[in-house]
Structure 1
Amino acid sequence: MYKYGQYCPIAKAVEILGDRWTLLIVRDLLTGTRHFNNLERGLPGISRGLLAERLRRLQRMGLVEKVAVANGRQRTAYYLTEAGQELHTVIDSLLVWGARWAFEEPEENELDPVLLMWWMRGRVRRETLPAGQTVVRFDFEGAKYETFWLLLKREDVSICLTDPGFDLDVLVTADLSAFFQIWLGRLTFAEAQRAKLVQVDGIPTLVEALPTWFSYSLASPAVRAAQKSQND
Protein backbone atom coordinates (compact mmCIF):
# COMPACT_ATOMS: atom_id res chain seq x y z
CA MET A 1 0.00 0.00 0.00
CA TYR A 2 1.46 3.34 -1.07
CA LYS A 3 1.64 6.01 1.66
CA TYR A 4 1.30 9.65 0.63
CA GLY A 5 2.47 11.05 3.96
CA GLN A 6 -0.36 13.60 4.06
CA TYR A 7 -2.77 14.18 6.92
CA CYS A 8 -5.77 14.47 4.59
CA PRO A 9 -8.90 12.28 4.36
CA ILE A 10 -8.64 12.09 0.57
CA ALA A 11 -5.05 10.87 0.80
CA LYS A 12 -6.03 8.33 3.45
CA ALA A 13 -8.91 7.03 1.30
CA VAL A 14 -6.70 6.73 -1.79
CA GLU A 15 -4.09 4.83 0.23
CA ILE A 16 -6.74 2.16 0.84
CA LEU A 17 -8.60 2.21 -2.46
CA GLY A 18 -6.08 3.42 -5.03
CA ASP A 19 -4.29 0.16 -5.80
CA ARG A 20 -5.06 -1.61 -9.06
CA TRP A 21 -8.18 -3.85 -8.96
CA THR A 22 -9.34 -2.71 -5.51
CA LEU A 23 -12.27 -0.56 -6.64
CA LEU A 24 -13.34 -3.19 -9.18
CA ILE A 25 -13.41 -5.79 -6.40
CA VAL A 26 -15.58 -3.41 -4.37
CA ARG A 27 -17.77 -2.84 -7.46
CA ASP A 28 -18.42 -6.56 -7.83
CA LEU A 29 -19.05 -7.07 -4.11
CA LEU A 30 -21.58 -4.22 -4.23
CA THR A 31 -23.44 -5.95 -7.06
CA GLY A 32 -23.75 -9.23 -5.18
CA THR A 33 -20.68 -11.30 -6.01
CA ARG A 34 -19.79 -13.22 -2.86
CA HIS A 35 -17.36 -16.04 -3.64
CA PHE A 36 -13.68 -16.01 -4.55
CA ASN A 37 -14.04 -17.98 -7.78
CA ASN A 38 -16.88 -15.74 -8.98
CA LEU A 39 -14.86 -12.63 -8.20
CA GLU A 40 -11.99 -14.08 -10.23
CA ARG A 41 -14.29 -14.80 -13.21
CA GLY A 42 -15.54 -11.23 -13.19
CA LEU A 43 -12.00 -9.80 -13.10
CA PRO A 44 -10.10 -11.42 -15.98
CA GLY A 45 -6.46 -10.46 -15.81
CA ILE A 46 -6.11 -10.58 -12.02
CA SER A 47 -4.09 -13.44 -10.60
CA ARG A 48 -5.56 -15.56 -7.82
CA GLY A 49 -2.69 -14.53 -5.56
CA LEU A 50 -3.28 -10.82 -6.13
CA LEU A 51 -7.04 -11.19 -5.64
CA ALA A 52 -6.43 -12.98 -2.34
CA GLU A 53 -4.01 -10.25 -1.24
CA ARG A 54 -6.45 -7.47 -2.11
CA LEU A 55 -9.26 -9.20 -0.22
CA ARG A 56 -7.05 -9.71 2.83
CA ARG A 57 -6.11 -6.02 2.83
CA LEU A 58 -9.74 -4.96 2.49
CA GLN A 59 -10.44 -7.17 5.51
CA ARG A 60 -7.62 -5.56 7.49
CA MET A 61 -8.92 -2.12 6.60
CA GLY A 62 -12.38 -3.05 7.86
CA LEU A 63 -14.16 -2.86 4.50
CA VAL A 64 -14.76 -6.59 3.95
CA GLU A 65 -15.55 -9.53 6.20
CA LYS A 66 -14.97 -13.17 5.31
CA VAL A 67 -17.74 -15.52 6.43
CA ALA A 68 -17.76 -19.32 6.55
CA VAL A 69 -20.70 -20.81 4.63
CA ALA A 70 -22.01 -24.26 3.83
CA ASN A 71 -22.78 -24.00 0.13
CA GLY A 72 -21.54 -27.02 -1.78
CA ARG A 73 -17.92 -26.44 -2.82
CA GLN A 74 -18.00 -22.78 -1.72
CA ARG A 75 -16.69 -22.66 1.85
CA THR A 76 -16.41 -18.91 2.35
CA ALA A 77 -18.17 -15.75 1.25
CA TYR A 78 -17.11 -12.11 1.28
CA TYR A 79 -19.39 -9.31 2.45
CA LEU A 80 -18.87 -5.58 2.61
CA THR A 81 -19.00 -4.07 6.08
CA GLU A 82 -20.81 -0.81 6.79
CA ALA A 83 -17.67 1.07 5.73
CA GLY A 84 -17.54 -0.94 2.51
CA GLN A 85 -21.23 -0.42 1.77
CA GLU A 86 -20.75 3.34 2.04
CA LEU A 87 -18.48 3.13 -1.01
CA HIS A 88 -21.68 2.69 -3.05
CA THR A 89 -21.87 6.46 -3.51
CA VAL A 90 -18.21 6.55 -4.59
CA ILE A 91 -18.73 3.82 -7.19
CA ASP A 92 -21.93 5.49 -8.43
CA SER A 93 -20.13 8.82 -8.81
CA LEU A 94 -17.27 7.16 -10.73
CA LEU A 95 -19.84 5.42 -12.95
CA VAL A 96 -21.63 8.67 -13.82
CA TRP A 97 -18.36 10.54 -14.40
CA GLY A 98 -16.86 7.71 -16.44
CA ALA A 99 -19.99 7.39 -18.60
CA ARG A 100 -19.91 11.12 -19.32
CA TRP A 101 -16.21 11.78 -19.80
CA ALA A 102 -14.29 8.53 -20.34
CA PHE A 103 -16.56 6.05 -22.14
CA GLU A 104 -16.22 5.79 -25.90
CA GLU A 105 -16.12 2.86 -28.31
CA PRO A 106 -14.27 -0.13 -26.82
CA GLU A 107 -10.68 -0.86 -27.71
CA GLU A 108 -9.85 -4.28 -29.11
CA ASN A 109 -8.04 -5.42 -25.96
CA GLU A 110 -11.15 -4.62 -23.89
CA LEU A 111 -13.36 -7.07 -25.79
CA ASP A 112 -13.30 -10.24 -23.71
CA PRO A 113 -16.23 -12.43 -24.84
CA VAL A 114 -15.90 -14.75 -21.83
CA LEU A 115 -16.36 -11.79 -19.49
CA LEU A 116 -19.34 -10.60 -21.54
CA MET A 117 -20.99 -14.01 -21.28
CA TRP A 118 -20.32 -14.07 -17.53
CA TRP A 119 -22.01 -10.69 -17.18
CA MET A 120 -24.95 -11.88 -19.28
CA ARG A 121 -25.36 -15.04 -17.22
CA GLY A 122 -25.72 -12.94 -14.08
CA ARG A 123 -28.33 -10.59 -15.54
CA VAL A 124 -30.86 -13.01 -17.02
CA ARG A 125 -34.46 -12.14 -16.08
CA ARG A 126 -35.41 -15.72 -15.33
CA GLU A 127 -39.08 -14.91 -14.77
CA THR A 128 -39.34 -13.90 -18.45
CA LEU A 129 -37.94 -17.17 -19.80
CA PRO A 130 -40.19 -19.74 -21.45
CA ALA A 131 -40.85 -23.03 -19.68
CA GLY A 132 -38.26 -25.75 -20.04
CA GLN A 133 -34.80 -25.15 -21.46
CA THR A 134 -33.89 -22.69 -24.20
CA VAL A 135 -30.55 -23.10 -25.95
CA VAL A 136 -29.01 -19.94 -27.42
CA ARG A 137 -25.75 -19.94 -29.38
CA PHE A 138 -23.73 -16.74 -29.67
CA ASP A 139 -21.31 -16.42 -32.58
CA PHE A 140 -19.17 -13.34 -31.93
CA GLU A 141 -17.16 -11.85 -34.77
CA GLY A 142 -14.23 -9.60 -33.97
CA ALA A 143 -10.48 -10.01 -33.72
CA LYS A 144 -11.18 -13.73 -33.63
CA TYR A 145 -14.26 -15.90 -33.92
CA GLU A 146 -15.76 -17.06 -30.64
CA THR A 147 -18.78 -19.30 -30.03
CA PHE A 148 -20.65 -19.79 -26.75
CA TRP A 149 -23.88 -21.42 -25.65
CA LEU A 150 -26.31 -20.20 -22.98
CA LEU A 151 -28.58 -22.85 -21.50
CA LEU A 152 -31.50 -20.87 -20.13
CA LYS A 153 -33.90 -22.27 -17.57
CA ARG A 154 -35.95 -20.51 -14.93
CA GLU A 155 -34.13 -22.50 -12.26
CA ASP A 156 -30.60 -22.03 -13.60
CA VAL A 157 -28.50 -20.45 -16.34
CA SER A 158 -25.32 -22.10 -17.63
CA ILE A 159 -22.57 -21.07 -20.04
CA CYS A 160 -20.97 -23.68 -22.29
CA LEU A 161 -17.70 -23.11 -24.14
CA THR A 162 -18.19 -26.23 -26.24
CA ASP A 163 -21.29 -27.59 -27.96
CA PRO A 164 -23.50 -29.11 -25.22
CA GLY A 165 -25.24 -31.33 -27.75
CA PHE A 166 -28.76 -29.92 -27.35
CA ASP A 167 -31.01 -28.79 -30.20
CA LEU A 168 -30.51 -25.09 -30.91
CA ASP A 169 -33.44 -22.72 -30.36
CA VAL A 170 -31.86 -19.35 -31.15
CA LEU A 171 -28.69 -18.33 -32.99
CA VAL A 172 -27.21 -14.87 -32.37
CA THR A 173 -24.52 -13.70 -34.78
CA ALA A 174 -23.00 -10.43 -33.62
CA ASP A 175 -20.10 -8.08 -33.91
CA LEU A 176 -18.42 -8.40 -30.52
CA SER A 177 -17.78 -4.66 -30.15
CA ALA A 178 -21.42 -3.91 -30.94
CA PHE A 179 -22.71 -6.44 -28.43
CA PHE A 180 -20.54 -4.95 -25.68
CA GLN A 181 -22.03 -1.57 -26.54
CA ILE A 182 -25.55 -3.01 -26.41
CA TRP A 183 -24.78 -4.48 -23.01
CA LEU A 184 -23.38 -1.22 -21.66
CA GLY A 185 -26.11 1.01 -23.11
CA ARG A 186 -24.32 2.78 -25.98
CA LEU A 187 -26.49 0.95 -28.55
CA THR A 188 -29.95 -0.50 -28.38
CA PHE A 189 -30.58 -4.03 -29.63
CA ALA A 190 -32.84 -2.64 -32.35
CA GLU A 191 -30.21 -0.12 -33.50
CA ALA A 192 -27.62 -2.86 -33.78
CA GLN A 193 -30.00 -5.05 -35.77
CA ARG A 194 -30.85 -2.21 -38.17
CA ALA A 195 -27.13 -1.62 -38.70
CA LYS A 196 -26.71 -5.36 -39.36
CA LEU A 197 -24.30 -5.66 -36.44
CA VAL A 198 -26.52 -8.28 -34.80
CA GLN A 199 -28.62 -10.98 -36.45
CA VAL A 200 -30.96 -13.30 -34.55
CA ASP A 201 -32.35 -16.48 -36.11
CA GLY A 202 -34.44 -19.34 -34.81
CA ILE A 203 -37.94 -19.99 -33.50
CA PRO A 204 -39.79 -16.72 -34.26
CA THR A 205 -41.40 -16.25 -30.85
CA LEU A 206 -38.04 -16.80 -29.12
CA VAL A 207 -36.19 -14.55 -31.56
CA GLU A 208 -38.61 -11.72 -30.76
CA ALA A 209 -38.43 -12.31 -27.00
CA LEU A 210 -34.66 -12.73 -26.64
CA PRO A 211 -33.78 -9.02 -26.07
CA THR A 212 -36.25 -8.93 -23.15
CA TRP A 213 -34.60 -11.82 -21.30
CA PHE A 214 -31.74 -9.68 -19.98
CA SER A 215 -31.56 -6.76 -17.58
CA TYR A 216 -28.32 -5.59 -19.25
CA SER A 217 -25.55 -3.85 -17.35
CA LEU A 218 -26.21 -1.87 -14.20
CA ALA A 219 -24.10 0.82 -15.86
CA SER A 220 -26.37 1.13 -18.91
CA PRO A 221 -28.80 3.77 -17.47
CA ALA A 222 -25.87 6.09 -16.68
CA VAL A 223 -24.36 5.51 -20.13
CA ARG A 224 -27.68 6.28 -21.86
CA ALA A 225 -28.15 9.39 -19.71
CA ALA A 226 -24.65 10.60 -20.57
CA GLN A 227 -25.28 10.07 -24.29
CA LYS A 228 -28.58 11.96 -24.08
CA SER A 229 -26.89 14.84 -22.25
CA GLN A 230 -24.13 15.03 -24.85
CA ASN A 231 -26.63 14.95 -27.73
CA ASP A 232 -28.97 17.61 -26.31
Structure 2
Amino acid sequence: MHLYGQYCPVARAAEILADRWTVLIIRELLADVKHFNELERGLPHMSRTLLTERLRRLEQTGVLERRSASRGKPCEYRLTPAGRELQRLIDLLGEWGARWAFGPPRPSELDPIILLWWMRRRVAVDRFSRRRVIQFEFRGAPQRTYWLVVDPNDISVCLKHPRFDVDMIVTANIMTFYQVWLGRLTLLDATRKNLIHLDGAPADVRAFPTWFTWSPMAETVCAAQADRRTARIGQSRPPRPETKPLARRIAS
Protein backbone atom coordinates (compact mmCIF):
# COMPACT_ATOMS: atom_id res chain seq x y z
CA MET A 1 0.00 0.00 0.00
CA HIS A 2 1.36 3.40 -0.97
CA LEU A 3 1.05 5.93 1.85
CA TYR A 4 0.74 9.53 0.66
CA GLY A 5 1.67 11.14 3.97
CA GLN A 6 -1.25 13.57 3.82
CA TYR A 7 -3.91 13.89 6.49
CA CYS A 8 -6.80 14.08 4.04
CA PRO A 9 -9.86 11.82 3.46
CA VAL A 10 -9.13 11.65 -0.28
CA ALA A 11 -5.56 10.54 0.38
CA ARG A 12 -6.68 7.91 2.91
CA ALA A 13 -9.28 6.52 0.48
CA ALA A 14 -6.75 6.50 -2.37
CA GLU A 15 -4.31 4.53 -0.20
CA ILE A 16 -6.90 1.73 -0.02
CA LEU A 17 -8.50 1.88 -3.47
CA ALA A 18 -6.03 3.39 -5.95
CA ASP A 19 -3.76 0.37 -6.30
CA ARG A 20 -3.88 -1.50 -9.61
CA TRP A 21 -6.80 -3.97 -9.89
CA THR A 22 -8.39 -2.97 -6.57
CA VAL A 23 -11.35 -1.10 -8.08
CA LEU A 24 -12.07 -4.03 -10.41
CA ILE A 25 -12.03 -6.42 -7.46
CA ILE A 26 -14.60 -4.17 -5.78
CA ARG A 27 -16.64 -4.19 -9.01
CA GLU A 28 -16.67 -8.00 -8.98
CA LEU A 29 -17.60 -8.24 -5.30
CA LEU A 30 -20.45 -5.76 -5.83
CA ALA A 31 -21.70 -8.07 -8.61
CA ASP A 32 -22.14 -10.74 -5.90
CA VAL A 33 -19.00 -12.70 -6.80
CA LYS A 34 -18.02 -14.44 -3.56
CA HIS A 35 -15.32 -17.04 -4.22
CA PHE A 36 -11.65 -16.75 -5.12
CA ASN A 37 -11.92 -18.87 -8.28
CA GLU A 38 -14.87 -16.79 -9.50
CA LEU A 39 -12.92 -13.59 -8.90
CA GLU A 40 -10.00 -15.06 -10.82
CA ARG A 41 -12.24 -15.93 -13.79
CA GLY A 42 -13.58 -12.37 -13.89
CA LEU A 43 -10.04 -10.94 -13.69
CA PRO A 44 -8.04 -13.42 -15.81
CA HIS A 45 -5.08 -11.09 -16.44
CA MET A 46 -4.43 -10.70 -12.71
CA SER A 47 -2.07 -13.17 -11.07
CA ARG A 48 -3.35 -15.36 -8.23
CA THR A 49 -0.59 -14.01 -5.99
CA LEU A 50 -1.61 -10.39 -6.54
CA LEU A 51 -5.31 -11.23 -6.13
CA THR A 52 -4.56 -12.91 -2.81
CA GLU A 53 -2.54 -9.89 -1.65
CA ARG A 54 -5.23 -7.39 -2.66
CA LEU A 55 -7.99 -9.39 -0.94
CA ARG A 56 -5.92 -9.60 2.23
CA ARG A 57 -5.35 -5.84 2.17
CA LEU A 58 -9.06 -5.10 1.64
CA GLU A 59 -9.83 -7.37 4.58
CA GLN A 60 -7.29 -5.59 6.78
CA THR A 61 -8.75 -2.17 5.90
CA GLY A 62 -12.30 -3.27 6.69
CA VAL A 63 -13.67 -3.24 3.13
CA LEU A 64 -14.44 -6.95 3.04
CA GLU A 65 -14.58 -9.92 5.35
CA ARG A 66 -13.48 -13.48 4.71
CA ARG A 67 -15.97 -16.10 5.85
CA SER A 68 -14.81 -19.63 6.45
CA ALA A 69 -16.94 -22.37 4.91
CA SER A 70 -17.63 -25.94 5.90
CA ARG A 71 -15.10 -28.58 4.93
CA GLY A 72 -14.87 -29.11 1.18
CA LYS A 73 -16.38 -25.75 0.30
CA PRO A 74 -14.43 -22.59 -0.61
CA CYS A 75 -14.42 -19.63 1.75
CA GLU A 76 -16.47 -16.58 0.82
CA TYR A 77 -15.49 -12.94 0.48
CA ARG A 78 -18.23 -10.53 1.51
CA LEU A 79 -18.22 -6.75 1.43
CA THR A 80 -18.70 -5.00 4.75
CA PRO A 81 -21.04 -1.99 5.00
CA ALA A 82 -18.01 0.16 4.14
CA GLY A 83 -17.41 -1.96 1.04
CA ARG A 84 -21.04 -1.95 -0.09
CA GLU A 85 -21.05 1.84 0.18
CA LEU A 86 -18.47 1.85 -2.64
CA GLN A 87 -21.30 1.06 -5.08
CA ARG A 88 -21.80 4.81 -5.46
CA LEU A 89 -18.13 5.27 -6.34
CA ILE A 90 -18.21 2.45 -8.91
CA ASP A 91 -21.36 3.88 -10.47
CA LEU A 92 -19.79 7.35 -10.72
CA LEU A 93 -16.59 5.93 -12.20
CA GLY A 94 -18.68 4.06 -14.77
CA GLU A 95 -20.68 7.17 -15.65
CA TRP A 96 -17.54 9.29 -16.00
CA GLY A 97 -15.82 6.60 -18.04
CA ALA A 98 -18.83 6.22 -20.34
CA ARG A 99 -18.93 9.99 -20.96
CA TRP A 100 -15.25 10.76 -21.31
CA ALA A 101 -13.11 7.63 -21.73
CA PHE A 102 -15.16 4.95 -23.51
CA GLY A 103 -14.33 4.86 -27.19
CA PRO A 104 -14.25 1.83 -29.50
CA PRO A 105 -12.75 -1.30 -27.91
CA ARG A 106 -9.05 -1.99 -28.20
CA PRO A 107 -8.13 -5.41 -29.64
CA SER A 108 -6.48 -6.38 -26.34
CA GLU A 109 -9.81 -5.81 -24.55
CA LEU A 110 -11.83 -8.26 -26.66
CA ASP A 111 -11.55 -11.35 -24.46
CA PRO A 112 -14.44 -13.74 -25.25
CA ILE A 113 -14.06 -15.59 -21.95
CA ILE A 114 -14.53 -12.39 -19.92
CA LEU A 115 -17.55 -11.48 -22.07
CA LEU A 116 -19.18 -14.89 -21.58
CA TRP A 117 -18.39 -14.78 -17.87
CA TRP A 118 -20.19 -11.44 -17.63
CA MET A 119 -23.08 -12.89 -19.61
CA ARG A 120 -23.23 -15.91 -17.31
CA ARG A 121 -23.83 -13.58 -14.36
CA ARG A 122 -26.62 -11.73 -16.19
CA VAL A 123 -28.71 -14.67 -17.40
CA ALA A 124 -32.41 -14.16 -16.63
CA VAL A 125 -32.80 -17.62 -15.13
CA ASP A 126 -36.55 -17.18 -14.61
CA ARG A 127 -36.93 -17.13 -18.42
CA PHE A 128 -35.76 -20.75 -18.69
CA SER A 129 -37.94 -23.72 -17.86
CA ARG A 130 -35.44 -26.25 -19.24
CA ARG A 131 -31.79 -26.48 -20.23
CA ARG A 132 -30.76 -24.29 -23.16
CA VAL A 133 -27.45 -24.42 -24.98
CA ILE A 134 -26.28 -21.28 -26.77
CA GLN A 135 -23.39 -21.60 -29.19
CA PHE A 136 -21.39 -18.46 -29.94
CA GLU A 137 -19.43 -18.16 -33.17
CA PHE A 138 -17.13 -15.20 -32.51
CA ARG A 139 -15.18 -13.99 -35.53
CA GLY A 140 -11.95 -12.30 -34.53
CA ALA A 141 -11.59 -14.29 -31.28
CA PRO A 142 -8.63 -16.59 -30.50
CA GLN A 143 -11.01 -19.55 -30.50
CA ARG A 144 -14.02 -19.23 -32.74
CA THR A 145 -16.64 -21.34 -30.94
CA TYR A 146 -17.84 -21.14 -27.33
CA TRP A 147 -20.91 -22.41 -25.50
CA LEU A 148 -23.12 -21.14 -22.70
CA VAL A 149 -25.15 -23.91 -21.06
CA VAL A 150 -28.10 -22.48 -19.16
CA ASP A 151 -29.78 -24.82 -16.73
CA PRO A 152 -32.30 -23.53 -14.17
CA ASN A 153 -29.91 -24.79 -11.45
CA ASP A 154 -26.54 -23.98 -13.02
CA ILE A 155 -24.94 -21.90 -15.79
CA SER A 156 -21.67 -22.94 -17.40
CA VAL A 157 -19.24 -21.43 -19.90
CA CYS A 158 -17.75 -24.19 -22.06
CA LEU A 159 -14.71 -24.15 -24.32
CA LYS A 160 -15.55 -27.63 -25.66
CA HIS A 161 -18.85 -28.88 -27.03
CA PRO A 162 -21.00 -29.76 -24.00
CA ARG A 163 -22.54 -32.73 -25.87
CA PHE A 164 -26.05 -31.37 -25.53
CA ASP A 165 -28.23 -30.29 -28.43
CA VAL A 166 -27.63 -26.67 -29.37
CA ASP A 167 -30.76 -24.48 -29.22
CA MET A 168 -29.32 -21.22 -30.53
CA ILE A 169 -26.29 -20.25 -32.61
CA VAL A 170 -25.15 -16.63 -32.29
CA THR A 171 -22.73 -15.50 -35.00
CA ALA A 172 -20.98 -12.14 -34.72
CA ASN A 173 -17.65 -10.40 -34.72
CA ILE A 174 -16.40 -10.35 -31.12
CA MET A 175 -16.07 -6.55 -31.30
CA THR A 176 -19.69 -6.17 -32.35
CA PHE A 177 -21.02 -8.34 -29.57
CA TYR A 178 -18.96 -6.49 -26.96
CA GLN A 179 -20.45 -3.21 -28.18
CA VAL A 180 -23.97 -4.64 -28.02
CA TRP A 181 -23.39 -6.02 -24.54
CA LEU A 182 -22.12 -2.66 -23.27
CA GLY A 183 -24.76 -0.48 -24.91
CA ARG A 184 -22.77 1.16 -27.72
CA LEU A 185 -24.98 -0.66 -30.25
CA THR A 186 -28.46 -2.12 -29.83
CA LEU A 187 -29.11 -5.78 -30.52
CA LEU A 188 -31.99 -4.78 -32.80
CA ASP A 189 -29.77 -2.56 -34.94
CA ALA A 190 -27.02 -5.18 -35.03
CA THR A 191 -29.39 -7.91 -36.24
CA ARG A 192 -31.08 -5.61 -38.77
CA LYS A 193 -27.67 -4.75 -40.23
CA ASN A 194 -26.68 -8.44 -40.24
CA LEU A 195 -23.84 -7.74 -37.81
CA ILE A 196 -25.28 -10.42 -35.53
CA HIS A 197 -27.07 -13.49 -36.81
CA LEU A 198 -29.34 -15.61 -34.59
CA ASP A 199 -30.05 -19.14 -35.76
CA GLY A 200 -32.62 -21.14 -33.83
CA ALA A 201 -36.32 -21.83 -33.48
CA PRO A 202 -38.35 -18.69 -34.30
CA ALA A 203 -39.68 -18.50 -30.74
CA ASP A 204 -36.15 -18.68 -29.32
CA VAL A 205 -34.89 -16.01 -31.74
CA ARG A 206 -37.68 -13.69 -30.61
CA ALA A 207 -37.02 -14.46 -26.94
CA PHE A 208 -33.22 -14.16 -27.08
CA PRO A 209 -33.09 -10.46 -26.09
CA THR A 210 -34.97 -11.33 -22.86
CA TRP A 211 -32.64 -14.19 -21.91
CA PHE A 212 -30.15 -11.72 -20.41
CA THR A 213 -30.45 -8.59 -18.30
CA TRP A 214 -27.42 -7.29 -20.26
CA SER A 215 -24.64 -5.22 -18.83
CA PRO A 216 -25.44 -3.00 -15.83
CA MET A 217 -23.40 -0.31 -17.63
CA ALA A 218 -25.31 -0.54 -20.92
CA GLU A 219 -27.89 2.11 -20.04
CA THR A 220 -25.16 4.50 -18.87
CA VAL A 221 -23.10 3.97 -22.03
CA CYS A 222 -26.16 4.45 -24.25
CA ALA A 223 -27.09 7.69 -22.46
CA ALA A 224 -23.51 8.99 -22.76
CA GLN A 225 -23.53 8.30 -26.50
CA ALA A 226 -26.84 10.13 -26.89
CA ASP A 227 -25.40 13.13 -25.00
CA ARG A 228 -22.36 13.20 -27.28
CA ARG A 229 -24.55 13.05 -30.40
CA THR A 230 -26.66 15.92 -29.10
CA ALA A 231 -23.54 17.97 -28.37
CA ARG A 232 -22.14 17.32 -31.87
CA ILE A 233 -25.43 18.36 -33.48
CA GLY A 234 -25.46 21.54 -31.43
CA GLN A 235 -21.89 22.36 -32.43
CA SER A 236 -22.55 21.71 -36.13
CA ARG A 237 -25.51 24.08 -36.37
CA PRO A 238 -24.61 27.49 -37.88
CA PRO A 239 -25.09 30.44 -35.55
CA ARG A 240 -28.44 32.11 -35.88
CA PRO A 241 -28.26 35.47 -37.70
CA GLU A 242 -28.54 38.46 -35.45
CA THR A 243 -31.97 40.09 -35.73
CA LYS A 244 -32.44 43.82 -35.29
CA PRO A 245 -35.11 45.12 -32.94
CA LEU A 246 -38.29 46.19 -34.74
CA ALA A 247 -37.61 49.94 -34.27
CA ARG A 248 -34.14 49.58 -35.80
CA ARG A 249 -35.48 47.58 -38.75
CA ILE A 250 -38.08 50.27 -39.50
CA ALA A 251 -35.51 53.05 -39.15
CA SER A 252 -33.14 51.33 -41.57
Name the TM-score, length of structure 2 as normaliser: 0.87
Q: Which amino acid aligns with 2:79?
A: L
Alignment of 1:1-232 (within 5 A): 1-70=1-70, 73-129=72-128, 131-142=129-140, 144-232=142-230
Is the Cα–Cα contact under 8 Å of residues 112 and 141 in structure 2 kept in the other structure?
Answer: no
Residue deviations 1:53-111, cap 9 Å, x none? Answer: 000000111111100123x8432101111211121111111011011101111000000
- Stretches of structure 2 lacking an aligned partner (at least 5 in a row): 231-252
Contact 1:172 1:200 in 2 (8 A): yes
Q: Describe the shift of the 1:143–1:172 C-alpha distance in structure 2 as closer, same or farther (beyond 3 A).
A: closer
Judged with a 3 Å threshold, the aligned counterparts in structure 2 of structure 1 residues 124 and 148 are, in CA distance, closer, same or farther, namely: same
C-alpha RMSD of matched pairs (Å): 1.4
Distance 1:52 1:182, change over 3 A: same
Deviations 1:165-195 (A, max 9, x none): 2222211111100101111111111111122
Structure 1 unaligned runs (5+)? none
Which SS does the other structure have where 2:92 is aligned?
helix
Find the counterpart in structure 1 of residue 240 from structure 2: none
Q: C-alpha distance in 1, partners of 2:223/2:18? A: 27
**Does structure 1 conserve the Cα–Cα contact (< 8 Å) formed by 2:111 and 2:141?**
no
Question: How far 1:230 moved relative to its partner?
Answer: 1.5
Give deviations 1:110-134, integer Å, cap 9, x for gaps.
00000111111110001112x3222
Say if 1:108 and 1:143, in contact at 8 Å, map to a contact too. no
Partners of 2:44 and 2:103 lie apart in 1 by 21
Task: Compare 2-11 and 24-33 and name the one that shifted more.
Answer: 2-11
Larger Rg: 2
